[in-house]
Every structure is written in C-alpha cells, then in structure tokens.
C-alpha cells in the first residue's frame, strides 16, 4: 500500500469493497436468470459504482494520490457507470 494511503485505511477498504461489489453483483444478477433479478442486481452494481466514484472524488479533493492516478480511475468508473446505465435502459424497455 502506498505510504500516503496507510493512514486512510478505512477509505481504502471501502474503495476495495465497492470495486469488488460491482462485477460481483452483475454476475449474481446474470446467474439468477430472470430479467427482474438481473435489473435489481444491476441497480445495486450501479450504486456501488456511484459509491466508488464518490470515494475517488474524495481522494482527489484531499490530494491523497497523484492526480493522474485518480483521474484514470475516475474515467474507468465513469465508463462502468455508463455501461450499466445503458444496459439498464435496454432491459427496462
């Protein structure tokens, strides 16, 4: 763990949990094999992605990590959110 992050262990733990939760909820919803369950799990994954985005914004505003590292992570999460929202829109039709 980067030394600057060591004192922010709780925040880093939340980032890890939210990051792992996104694909886990998508996989769970798909495996349940009903459209309604898949949509429910996608919404949970979307919530986790929004939580992750919020935590990353906090890292950015506190200057805990170098700006390029946070910017890259934020761009990735924004893309994940877009994909999940697009899938939800398609399934809600």
> Rounded mean pLDDT of the chain?
92
Give the tokens for residue 32.
């349940």
Q: What is the pLDDT of residue 24?
A: 98
- Domain ranges within the chain, ordered by starting residue: 10-92
CA distance 12 to 27: 23
| Structural fold of domain 10-92 | de novo design (two linked rop proteins) (1.20.1440)
CA distance 91 to 82: 14
User: In the predicted model, is pLDDT for residue 81 greater than 90?
Assistant: yes
Residues 62-76 have pLDDT tens digits of 888 889 999 999 999
């Amino acid at each position: 763990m980067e030394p600057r992050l060591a004192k922010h262990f709780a925040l880093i733990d939340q980032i890890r949990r939210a990051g792992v939760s996104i694909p886990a909820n998508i996989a769970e919803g798909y495996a349940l094999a009903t459209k309604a369950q898949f949509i429910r799990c996608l919404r949970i994954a979307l919530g986790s992605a929004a939580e992750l985005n919020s935590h990353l914004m906090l890292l950015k505003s506190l200057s805990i990590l170098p700006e390029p590292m946070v910017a890259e992570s934020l761009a990735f999460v924004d893309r994940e959110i877009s994909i999940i929202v697009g899938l939800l829109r398609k399934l809600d039709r």
